Structure formats: C-alpha cells, structure tokens
C-alpha cells in the first residue's frame, strides 16, 4: 500500500470518527489522528525517497493529506514539514535549522565556503554585503530588464513558427545575462549552462549522493573555477571601463574592502552564477508548461503580454509556478532538539541531526492560510509564494527574477495561436529535476 493510500484510509477513518454525534469532537480528533499513523510514518520514508529521486507520483495529494493528518512527519532521520506556519518557522529559525550545503560548496571551490552555505555570522554578513555592493538593485531597470527583454525578443523573432523553449529561450536568455552582467564576454554560453546545471544539481538537489551527479559537478567546478580565475587575472592585467560585476568587484578590492581577495570574488561569483541559470530556466519553462494546459489562463497571460502589462503578466507566471513547482521542498538540518509548532496539537520534537524537508510546495496550498488554494488566482499576494525561499537564505536573485521571468516569457506569449507541438516534442521533458525540452508552435 502506498503512502497516498495509507493517508486516504486514515482520513476516511478520521471522518468516520468525527461524524458520530455522541462523540466528544476534540477527543474524536485526537483518536482519529492516532489511527493508522504508524503505517503513515513507516511509509513516510518511501515518500521521502520519492522526493529524493523526483519521481513521487502524487506529491500534492500526499502533501495535502499530510497537512491534515501528520503535518510534521518524522521518519528515519527525516522530517517533512507541510503547514505554512511551520514552514515559515523553520525557515525563520536559522539559529536552529542550518543550511546543509557547506561541505559540498567547499568541495567545488577546493576548500572555501561562500555565503549561500553559511549560517548568520559576521562572515556571512560581510560577504553578502559585499555582493550587494557589486550586484545592485538599481541594475534591474537600467541593465537587466532591457538586456533580457531584447535577447528574448531576438530569439522569438528568429524562430520560424516553432521553438524549443528550454534550450533556445529559457536557458539561453539567463546565460546571456550572466555573460554580459558578470563581465565574462567570450565565454561559451552552452558550456556555462551545462556547468551550472551540474553544480546546482549536486549542491542542492542530489539527496541520494549519486556518483554520476558528483562526477559531473567536480568536472564542471574545475572548468568554472579555472575560467573565473583566468577572467579575474585578465581583467586585472588589462582593466576595462565596462561597468560589469567583475569591474566593480576589482574596484572594491583596490579600495581595500575586506573579504574581496581574488579567491573571494571567484567563490562568490560561483555561487551567484550557479543560482542564476538552471533555476530561472526551469521555473520559466514550468510556468509556460502550466499555462499551456490552462486555455483560459493562457489567454489571460497573452492579453497581459500584448498589453505590456508586466505586473499582471508576472502574476500569471508566478501563480502558474505554484501549480508546477521545480522542487517541493527546501532542506535544512536541525542543529539541536527543537519543538516545532509549540503549543499546537500538531507540535512535534525535531531531534538534533534531523534532515528537514521544508515543503514549500505544500505551504502554497495550505487552506488554513490561503483562500481557495486549488483555484488559479492572479490576485494572490507575493507573501503566498515560496518560489524563491524565505528568510535569511531567500534566493539572492529574487528581485531580478521577479522581472526576468516575465521578460523571458513575454515575446513568446505575445504570439498568436501559441500551442504545443504534436507528439512527445510538445510534452515537457525533464533531466532529473530540471526542464530539458518543450517545443511550441505559433503563428
């Protein structure tokens, strides 16, 4: 029996228990929740294994039942947290729940962590602050938005009524942005896509410690490290007046700003570049895939695109991403015993050392906090979304992707009669957790 079936049976027993008018409702709830949960916890390990390999067949259905029956599921060294309030609590308590990425980050940089893998500390604050001085919010309207919009328009305009949107659009545009914005002109964008995809997979999504994933990542890190080291030395030998991230980093270095050795610049660039391409590419492809299965919402998104209403277009895309999420959870590791949801009936002790799968996908469908979560609504607040994480380690590129994702999709959505290609080409194909291909047609 699958976890979904166990949960469905437990829910039916729950409904039967509370339906008896003679029963005390509170006690009925307590008794019903206890019924069958031994099976649920045993099967929970299988569900976690499914999350690890991206092949869990019914993630949203299972998460919905877990929210009702076992909101904090603990099984074999793992915990799955499914309620919105509990998801926020875990991601807010960075003093208790550590990001578990430092060891692998140090492996790909040959010994140096970077701030994405650090706890809140003076080193984290220094490195994150330096990066914000280099990659500035004001760059979004003046540099990033125009570049992304132009590149996306060029790609769609050159397409002869057919476009494989992953490799030709959703990967290509952020790769072009990285090359121009970081100051890496002349780099092979396809190699950059392959390297960053391999590295992101290894750092954040390889829960099974797959040997092939590790080998690809180590090979990619070697190439990326060498390329960035060479770029830094070349720019120092021949300074440029070009206003890009590399020039800014070296200017700060020359001013004596702490934490900006050549190695620091290289490692911080690695962290930013890894997060800039594969996630943006997959999130945009998944959002378009979701709209293509919803004719009414697709029409609304196309109307917004044609009206140059970027704010409304973004609403369509980010709501589509809620239904077609790249990953159902973010990982954290408990560094001490912690009672989650203290004072609530669902409260559980998370033992020190537990790997916590913080189910952000589940939180975005929590009916106790969202109105009509199963409905597609473009009126939702940004607070209802966890596409970019939450708390201290929210995606560094959050503000960029609020603009970039709509601009990548916009010229395609402006096309008439946008539709899937026939056969398997028109079905989104995946490479592990990432979008791999999806071909569309248009007039």
CATH of the domain at 323: 1.10.630.10
Verify that 151 and 237 share a domain, yes or no: yes
CA distance 238 to 227: 16
Average pLDDT over residues 198-227: 93
49 inside domain: yes
Question: With bands split at pLDDT 50, 70 and 90, how would you rate the model's confidence at 199?
Answer: very high
Same domain, 235 and 193: yes
Report yes or no on 308 lying in a domain. Answer: yes
Distance from CA of residue 268 to its chain's centroid? 19
Q: What is the DSSP letter of 371?
A: S
Provide mean pLDDT across the span 66-71.
Answer: 87
For 421, residues 6+ apart whose C-beta sits below 8 A from its C-beta are 162, 439, 440, 441
Highest mean pLDDT among 17-21, 162-166, 393-397: 162-166
User: In the chain, how many domains are there?
Assistant: 2
Residue (of 346, 289, 402) closest to 87 by Cα position? 346
- The least confident of 3-17, 181-195, 229-243, 251-265 is 3-17
More confident residue, 1 or 116: 116
Average pLDDT over every residue of 166-171: 98
Q: Which two tokens stand for residue 119?
A: 């706890």
Q: Of 10-24, 314-328, 344-358, 362-376, which gets the smallest average pLDDT? A: 10-24
- Using the predicted structure, report yes or no on whether residue 2 has a pLDDT greater than 80: no
Does 23 fall in a domain?
A: yes
- What is residue 6's predicted lDDT score, i.e. its pLDDT? 58
What percent of the chain clears pLDDT 90, i.e. is strictly above it? 70
Band (pLDDT 50/70/90 cuts) for residue 120 is confident
More confident residue, 358 or 5: 358
Same domain, 132 and 55: no
On whether both 298 and 419 belong to a single domain, the answer is yes
**Does the residue 340 lie in any domain?**
no
Distance between CA atoms of residues 403 and 409, nearest Å: 11
| Residue-wise DSSP of 211-258 | HHHHHHHHHHHHHHHHHHHHHHHHHHHS-----SHHHHHHHHHHTT-T
Stretch 149-169: mean pLDDT: 97
> Which helix (H) or strand (E) covers residue 356, if one does?
strand 355-358
Structure tokens at 407: 């601009």
Same domain flag for 7 and 152: no
Q: What's residue 339's pLDDT?
A: 98
Query: Is residue 349 within a helix (H) or strand (E), and if so which, with residue range?
Result: strand 348-350
175 and 43 co-located in one domain? no
The answer to the question of residue 200 being in a domain is yes
* Per-residue pLDDT at 115: 77
Examine the domain organization and report whether 200 and 271 are in the same domain: yes
Look at the pTM and tell me if it is higher than 0.75: yes
What is the model's pLDDT at position 200? Answer: 94
Is 210 part of any domain?
A: yes
In a domain, 267, yes or no: yes
- Residues 178, 66 share a domain: no
* pLDDT of amino acid 270: 93
pLDDT for position 33: 46
Judge if 196 and 120 occupy the same domain: yes
User: Are 113 and 232 contained in the same domain?
Assistant: yes
What value does the mean pLDDT take over residues 48-74? 74
Mean pLDDT of the chain: 89
Using pLDDT thresholds of 50, 70 and 90, give the confidence band for residue 28: very low
Q: How confident is the model at residue 282 (pLDDT cuts 50, 70, 90)?
A: very high
Which residues span the domain enclosing 243?
Answer: 97-329+372-441
Answer with the one of 55, 70, 85 that is the final residue of a domain.
70
Confidence of residue 5 (pLDDT cuts 50, 70, 90): low
Find the mean pLDDT for residues 384-396.
Answer: 91
Per-residue pLDDT averaged across 368-378, rounded?
96
- Which of the residue ranges 65-79, 90-104, 245-259, 291-305 would you say has the lowest mean pLDDT? 65-79
Range in 41-45, 107-111, 286-290 the model is least confident about: 41-45
Region 175-197 average pLDDT: 97
364 within domain boundaries: no
- pLDDT given for residue 25 in this prediction: 46
Rounded to 10 deg, the angle between the 145-158 and 398-413 helix axes is 30
Over residues 323-346, the mean pLDDT reads 93
For residue 21, what pLDDT band results from cuts at 50, 70 and 90? very low
Q: Which residue has the higher pLDDT, 165 or 45?
A: 165
By the 8 A CB rule, do 438 and 163 touch? no
Q: What is the pLDDT of residue 31?
A: 47
Shared-domain flag, residues 167 and 31: no
Backbone angles phi, psi at 265, to 5 degrees: -60, -45
pLDDT recorded at residue 4: 60
Residues 243 and 103 grouped into a single domain = yes
């Amino acid at each position: 029996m699958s976890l979904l079936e166990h949960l469905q049976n437990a829910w039916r027993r729950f409904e039967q228990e509370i339906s008896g008018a003679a029963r005390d409702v509170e006690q009925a709830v307590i008794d019903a929740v206890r019924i069958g949960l031994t099976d649920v916890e045993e099967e929970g390990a299988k569900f976690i294994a499914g999350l690890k390999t991206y092949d869990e067949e019914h993630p949203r259905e299972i998460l919905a039942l877990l929210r009702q029956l076992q909101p904090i599921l603990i099984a074999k060294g793992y915990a799955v947290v499914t309620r919105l309030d509990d998801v926020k609590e875990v991601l807010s308590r960075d003093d208790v729940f550590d990001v578990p990425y430092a060891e692998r980050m140090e492996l790909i940089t040959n010994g140096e962590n970077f701030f994405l893998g650090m706890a809140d500390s003076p080193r984290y604050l220094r490195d994150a602050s330096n990066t914000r001085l280099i990659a500035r919010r004001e760059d979004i309207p003046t540099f990033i938005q125009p570049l992304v919009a132009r590149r996306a328009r060029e790609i769609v305009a050159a397409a002869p009524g057919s476009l494989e949107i992953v490799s030709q659009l959703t990967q290509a545009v952020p790769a072009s942005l990285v090359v121009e914005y970081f100051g890496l002109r002349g780099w092979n964008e396809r190699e950059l896509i392959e390297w960053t995809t391999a590295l992101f997979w290894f750092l954040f999504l390889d829960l099974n410690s797959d040997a092939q994933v590790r080998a690809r990542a180590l090979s990619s890190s070697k190439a990326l490290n060498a390329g960035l080291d060479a770029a830094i030395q070349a720019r120092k030998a021949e300074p440029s007046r070009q206003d890009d991230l590399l020039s800014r980093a070296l200017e700060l270095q020359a001013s004596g700003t702490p934490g900006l050795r050549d190695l620091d610049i290289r490692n911080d660039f690695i962290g930013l570049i890894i997060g800039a391409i594969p996630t943006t590419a997959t999130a945009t492809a998944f959002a378009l895939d979701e709209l293509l299965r919803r004719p009414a919402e697709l029409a609304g998104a196309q109307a917004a695109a044609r009206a140059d209403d970027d704010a409304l277009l973004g609403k369509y895309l980010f709501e589509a991403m809620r239904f077609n999420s790249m990953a159902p959870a973010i990982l954290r590791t408990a560094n001490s015993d912690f009672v989650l949801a203290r004072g609530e009936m669902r409260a559980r002790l998370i033992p020190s050392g537990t790997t916590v799968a913080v189910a952000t996908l589940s939180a975005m469908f929590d009916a106790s906090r969202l109105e009509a979560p199963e409905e597609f609504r473009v009126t939702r607040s940004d607070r209802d979304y966890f596409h970019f994480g939450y708390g201290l380690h929210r995606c560094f590129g959050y503000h960029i992707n609020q603009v970039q994702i709509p601009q990548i999709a916009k010229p395609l959505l402006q096309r008439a009669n946008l539709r899937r290609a026939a056969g398997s080409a028109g079905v989104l194909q995946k490479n592990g957790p990432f979008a791999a291909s999806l071909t569309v047609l248009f007039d």
